[in-house]
Amino acid sequence: MRAIEASYRHWIKRAQEEFKDETVDKDRAHRRYDRIRSKYTRKIDKLQPKIRDLAVRRSELKAEG
């Protein structure tokens, strides 16, 4: 799960780098960056509770045995 989150963050960073490198049409590049960032931010927000629950479950299992 954390690897998935890291890949989403990578895509956001990659889109930001493309936006910075884009010099022809700044508005279009900025809209594209915002669209990609919002897409992966939503995915990360959905994934966070699952990661947290798995971490809690794992720590409970370690404590039991």
pLDDT of amino acid 17 = 87
Q: What confidence tens digit (pLDDT) does each residue in 50-61 have?
A: 989 999 999 999
- pLDDT value, residue 50: 92
Q: For 13-50, give one letter per residue: b (16+ CB within 10 A) or e.
A: eebeeebeeeeeeeeebeeebeebbeebeeebeeeeee
pLDDT, one tens digit per residue, over 1-48 is 788 889 989 988 998 888 888 767 888 888 888 999 999 999 999 999
| pTM value > 0.75 | no
Q: Is the pLDDT of residue 65 over 80?
A: no
Closest CA to 29 of 42, 39, 15, 10: 15
